């Protein structure tokens, strides 16, 4: 039986998840850098593309445009060509516009504040939080589909606002801990708590999960 109170669930969730992440997470190259520009590129690519494909395109794109200044100076057709094969070309156009805005208005430095980030082309609430956290190790909401599903199942919560509030309450305030926590929830959603056929039998938080408890008693 899972712990009854939300507080007990939170404790298990906070403790078990980072430990599992350190043991089981994939070694993805954008997790090895804190370069804000490189993180922005990875987040734009990952918006609608599978990780395996981004692994191929991300280094290639950064080789062609190693800095935000180089991307800002590029011709639109060249950026479109560098994106060729990834699809959803609006992302390439937005990324290009973002680079120009950052160079022109932020002196080439990607902002670290989620509210400021959200003003940039192509940056929504999730991407703003992801860049703030994964590049600058700021405590920020990173609730995408995977994270929403994990939190929804474990805590029995639904609705975007409630999920974001829950995520904010759960994540550590300290930078590196917030970084690890946010990556860990996302990784759990990608590898274990999948939309179809979640792998509850190997899940590090199954002992605290309401969804799992309900499915077992059913
Ligand atoms: S126990 Fe199952 S449903 Fe709950 S978080 Fe883990 S994988 Fe998801």
Length of the chain in residues, anyone?
218
- Name which residue sits closest to atom 8 of ligand 1, judged by CA: 193
Distance CA 80, CA 64 (A): 12
Q: How far is the centre of ligand 1, averaged over its atoms, from the C-alpha of 155 (Å)?
A: 10
- The answer on pLDDT for 5 being more than 90 is no
| Per-residue pLDDT tens over the stretch 105-116 | 999 999 999 999
- The answer on pLDDT for 69 being more than 60 is yes
Between 7 and 100, residue with greater pLDDT: 100
| Per-residue pLDDT tens over the stretch 84-98 | 999 999 999 999 999
Give 3's pLDDT tier (boundaries 50, 70, 90). very low
Q: How far is the centre of ligand 1, averaged over its atoms, from the C-alpha of 202 (Å)?
A: 9
Which segments of the chain does DSSP mark as H helices, in order? Answer: 6-24, 36-46, 51-64, 68-73, 76-83, 90-105, 114-117, 125-136, 145-155, 160-170, 175-191, 210-217
- Within 10 angstroms of residue 200's Cβ, the number of other Cβ atoms is 17
43 tagged catalytic: yes
Give 75's pLDDT tier (boundaries 50, 70, 90). very high
Q: How far is the centre of ligand 1, averaged over its atoms, from the C-alpha of 152 (Å)?
A: 10
Res 55: pLDDT: 98
Distance CA 136, CA 39 (A): 10
Q: How far is the centre of ligand 1, averaged over its atoms, from the C-alpha of 190 (Å)?
A: 11
Res 1: pLDDT: 53
- The answer on pLDDT for 179 being more than 80 is yes
Q: Which residues line ligand 1 (CB under 6 A)?
A: 150, 153-154, 192-193, 198-200, 203, 205-206, 209, 211-212
Best mutation site among 10, 205, 210 for ligand 1 pocket (most ligand atoms within 8 Å of CB): 205
Distance CA 188, CA 186 (A): 5
pTM of the model: 0.94
Burial pattern 132-141, b for ≥16 Cβ within 10 A else e, equals: bbbbbbbbbb
């Amino acid at each position: 039986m899972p712990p009854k109170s939300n507080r007990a669930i939170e404790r298990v969730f906070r403790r078990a998840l980072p430990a599992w992440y350190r043991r089981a997470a994939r070694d993805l190259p954008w997790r090895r850098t804190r370069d804000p520009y490189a993180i922005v590129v990875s987040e734009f690519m990952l918006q609608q593309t599978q990780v395996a494909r981004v692994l191929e395109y991300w280094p290639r794109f950064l080789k062609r445009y190693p800095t935000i200044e180089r991307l800002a100076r590029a011709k639109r057709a060249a950026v479109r060509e560098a994106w060729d094969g990834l699809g959803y070309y609006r992302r390439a156009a937005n990324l290009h516009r973002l680079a120009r805005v950052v160079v022109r208005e932020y002196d080439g430095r990607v902002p670290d504040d989620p509210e400021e980030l959200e003003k940039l082309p192509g940056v929504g609430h999730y991407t703003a939080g992801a860049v703030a956290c994964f590049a600058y190790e700021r405590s920020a909401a990173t609730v995408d589909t995977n994270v929403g599903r994990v939190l929804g199942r474990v805590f029995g919560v639904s609705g975007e606002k409630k999920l974001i509030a829950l995520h904010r309450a759960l994540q550590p305030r300290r930078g590196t801990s917030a970084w690890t926590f946010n990556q860990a929830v996302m990784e759990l959603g990608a590898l274990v708590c999948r939309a179809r056929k979640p792998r509850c039998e190997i899940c590090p938080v199954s002992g605290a999960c309401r969804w799992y408890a309900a499915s077992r008693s059913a």
